[in-house]
């Protein structure tokens, strides 16, 4: 019998190695806060964290950064006045800033097995300095590579035991694409449902992309 | 400030002026700041608003008693959905932006140049932290890009309407129109053409407040 549910947070986070690349979803709603807390407690170090934004002074990103376990942050947006901004200024955090759509597409590409792509986004800006560009269809484009995750931390509204997921409203955001892009996709779900309870045409993230699911009631 | 009698538009005023030029049926992305307010002024026209976090069909701002914590816009402010809305994931949402599916994107800016260059994400190349967000993807992908901004900087009154941008660019040659608190300017192959001015504004004063050359009707 296939059953991807795990009983505890520790079981959900077991085996994450030092040096791993961790994709964490969320854009406000949809942030897997319990799993991010679990990652801090699990203790893996020297991590690369991939998220949309660097957060503020409180909340799951700030708490995770404060552990000192994050070596590098890849995101689209960092505030100067935030834990991430201050760690970067102090030289204790590496930062790779990626335009948000390129970030999403690099993650999607990883999940889809696309090994590189060209996009006009940022091609005529300082983000392109020293990098490969090419004129394609009369447009200057920038070469971008996928972002593969060792681990993805995902938030869901519902999950069945196959790991078929729904995401509520705009809490969907990065969740389906990050789930596709990692070797080990770990989900926290607000609700556990029976197989078949989610109509097949309404599955947002198919269970094939999911390895472990933890029930975290809201 | 010259002695002429004009009252610059406030932020709502700029948003209202932009909304007047959006026809029914357009699919529109609004950036953070002044642009976010544009949707409050389209009234009964059916215009579909997109938020880069995957919302298609933003409705009116909900009152405090009707907040859905799972539903936010690009500024992570609570929103509602219109009847007929759709939700997509982040890569599809930016496919909408980059793939040319938006009739219009309205962004804020620090500066716009007469060739349509846009600067809206950093005030110097070596700024310690970076706030790119989704602006670069939206700027290269929308069918039209309009900018909403104050005509001059708050402190020194420098013109944000420039011959050449002094700040790092978000994208080159992308801005089609600029809506400021003083005027509406169209980016043409020959530079900024004045489409409209606020009541009481004169040709001489607008030229004095604008670093770039202006083309008059």
pLDDT tens for each residue of A15-40:
999 999 999 999 999 999 999 999 99
Note whether residue B71 is domain-resident. yes
pLDDT tens for each residue of B94-103:
999 999 999 9
Q: Residue B120: which domain range?
A: 11-215
Contact present, A13 and A35 (Cβ < 8 Å): yes
DSSP state of B169: P
**What is the per-residue pLDDT for B4?**
59
Residue of A13, A23, A5 whose CA lies nearest to A72: A23
Note whether residue B2 is domain-resident. no
| B111 is known as an active-site residue | no
- Please check whether residue A79 touches B, CB under 8 A: yes
- Please check whether residue A100 touches B, CB under 8 A: yes
The token pair at B7 is 């009252």
Instruction: State the SS3 of B53-106.
Output: CCEEEECCCCCHHHCCCCCECCCCCECCEEEEEEECCHHHHHHHHHCCCCCEEE
Size of interface A-B (CB pairs under 8 A): 129
Q: What is the mean pLDDT of residues B44-53?
A: 95
- Please check whether residue A59 touches B, CB under 8 A: no
d(CA A25, CA A53): 10
Q: Which of B51, B91, B125 is facing A104, going by the closest CB pair?
A: B91
Residues composing chain A: 218
Residue A119 Cα, gap to closest chain B Cα (Å) = 9
The token pair at A115 is 């090994």
Partner residues linked to A158 by β-bridges: A166, A191
What's the CA dihedral at B129, B135, B139, B143 to 10 degrees?
A: 180
Helix (H), strand (E) at residue A135 = strand A133-136
Note whether residue B130 is domain-resident. yes
Whether complex ipTM tops 0.90: yes
| Phi, psi for B161 (deg, rounded to 5) | -95, 105
Note whether residue B58 is domain-resident. yes
**Domain tally, chain B:** 1
Note whether residue B4 is domain-resident. no
Residue B19 Cα, gap to closest chain A Cα (Å) = 25
Kindly give the interhelix angle for B90-98 and A100-112, rounded to the nearest 10 degrees. Answer: 120
pLDDT band with cut points at 50, 70 and 90 for residue B127: confident
**Residues A29, B88: C-beta atoms closer than 8 Å:** no
The token pair at A85 is 């901004």
- Please check whether residue B128 touches A, CB under 8 A: yes
Is the pLDDT at A192 greater than 90? The verdict is yes
Global pTM value: 0.96
CATH number for B41: 3.40.1080.10
**What is the per-residue pLDDT for B128?**
65
Coil, strand or helix: which one is B126?
coil
First to last CA, chain A: 27
Note whether residue B6 is domain-resident. no
pLDDT tens for each residue of A114-170:
999 999 999 999 999 999 999 999 999 999 999 999 999 999 999 999 999 999 999
Note whether residue B3 is domain-resident. no
CB burial class (10 A; 0-12, 13-18, 19+) of residue B103? middle
Coil, strand or helix: which one is A159?
strand
Note whether residue B79 is domain-resident. yes
Sort out which chain A residues have CB atoms less than 8 A from B138's CB and list them.
101
pLDDT band with cut points at 50, 70 and 90 for residue B5: confident
Handedness of CA B104, B105, B106, B110 (dihedral sign): negative
Q: How far is CA B22 from the centre of its chain?
A: 13
Q: How far is CA A14 from the centre of its chain?
A: 18
The token pair at A44 is 């893996």
């Amino acid at each position: 019998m296939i059953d991807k549910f795990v009983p505890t947070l520790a079981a959900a986070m077991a085996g994450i190695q030092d040096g791993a690349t961790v994709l964490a979803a969320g854009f406000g709603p949809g942030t897997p806060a319990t799993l991010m807390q679990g990652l801090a407690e699990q203790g893996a170090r020297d991590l690369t964290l991939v998220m949309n934004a660097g957060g503020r002074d409180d909340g799951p990103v700030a708490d995770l950064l404060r552990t000192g376990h994050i070596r590098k942050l890849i995101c689209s947006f960092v505030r100067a006045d935030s834990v991430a901004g201050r760690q970067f200024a102090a030289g204790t955090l590496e930062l790779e800033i990626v335009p948000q759509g390129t970030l999403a597409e690099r993650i999607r590409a990883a999940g889809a097995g696309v090994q590189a792509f060209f996009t006009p986004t940022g091609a005529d800006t300082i983000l392109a300095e020293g990098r490969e560009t090419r004129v394609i269809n009369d447009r200057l484009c920038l070469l971008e590579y996928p972002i593969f995750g060792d681990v993805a931390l995902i938030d869901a509204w519902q999950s069945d035991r196959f790991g078929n997921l729904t995401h509520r409203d705009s809490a969907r955001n990065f969740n389906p694409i990050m789930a596709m892009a990692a070797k080990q996709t770990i989900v926290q779900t607000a609700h556990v449902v029976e197989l078949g309870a989610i109509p097949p045409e309404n599955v947002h993230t198919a269970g094939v992309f999911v390895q472990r699911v933890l029930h975290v009631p809201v | 400030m010259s002695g002429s009698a004009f009252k610059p538009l406030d932020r709502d005023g700029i948003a209202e002026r932009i909304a007047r030029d959006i026809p029914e049926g357009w699919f529109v992305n609004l950036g953070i700041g002044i642009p976010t307010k544009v949707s409050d002024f389209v009234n009964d026209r059916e215009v579909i608003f997109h938020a880069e976090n995957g919302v298609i069909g933003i409705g009116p701002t909900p009152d405090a008693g009707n907040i859905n914590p799972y539903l936010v816009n690009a500024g992570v402010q609570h929103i509602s959905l219109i009847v007929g809305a759709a939700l997509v994931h982040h890569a599809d949402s930016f496919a909408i932006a980059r793939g040319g599916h938006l009739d219009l994107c309205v962004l804020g800016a620090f500066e716009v140049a007469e060739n349509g260059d846009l600067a809206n994400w950093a005030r110097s190349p070596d700024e310690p932290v970076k706030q790119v967000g989704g602006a670069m993807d939206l700027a290269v992908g929308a069918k039209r890009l309009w900018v909403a901004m104050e005509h001059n900087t708050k402190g020194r009154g420098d013109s944000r309407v420039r011959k050449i941008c002094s700040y790092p660019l978000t994208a080159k040659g992308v801005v089609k129109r600029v809506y400021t608190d003083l005027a509406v300017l169209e980016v043409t192959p020959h530079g900024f053409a004045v489409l409209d001015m606020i009541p009481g504004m004169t040709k001489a004063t607008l030229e004095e407040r604008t670093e770039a050359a202006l083309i008059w009707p």
